[in-house]
């Protein structure tokens, strides 16, 4: 069992991360959902993300290979944007 460091949910059974916002270059931005039109590697219908286990329509867990940066559009874990790792969710 692996728990997400950001939301505390079990990654293999939760629908996805509950953190919907990420701070990039000092600005809070909405994260791109798994399986969305801008997702890097959308899962097949009925499948979960191959890396973090998120279901389509939910947020990837931080550090996922498939998460795209909402600012530059490249892979979030390797883009050149200033991503300090600050995440938040809306109540």
pLDDT tens track for 59-89: 999 999 999 999 999 999 999 999 988 999 9
pLDDT for 28 beyond 90: yes
User: String of b and e for 54-72 (b: at least 16 CB within 10 Å)?
Assistant: bbbebbbbbebebbbbbbe
pLDDT for 90 beyond 90: no
- Residue 50 has a pLDDT of 94
CA angle 36, 37, 42 (to 5 degrees): 60
Beta-sheet strand order (sheet of 21-24)? 27-30, 21-24, 87-88
* Mean local confidence (pLDDT), 4-33: 94
* Mean local confidence (pLDDT), 32-37: 92
- Residue 91 has a pLDDT of 63
At 77, phi and psi to the nearest 5? -70, -10
The closest of 17, 3, 13, 5 to 59, measured between CA atoms, is 17
Reported residue count of the chain is: 91
């Amino acid at each position: 069992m692996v728990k997400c460091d950001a939301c505390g949910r079990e990654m293999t059974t939760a629908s996805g991360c509950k953190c919907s916002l990420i701070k990039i270059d000092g600005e809070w931005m909405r994260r791109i959902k798994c399986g969305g039109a801008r997702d890097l590697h959308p899962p097949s219908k009925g499948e979960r993300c191959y890396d973090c286990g998120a279901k389509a329509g939910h947020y990837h867990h931080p550090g996922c290979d498939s998460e795209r940066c909402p600012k530059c559009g490249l892979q979030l874990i390797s883009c050149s944007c200033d991503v300090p790792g600050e995440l938040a969710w809306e109540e």
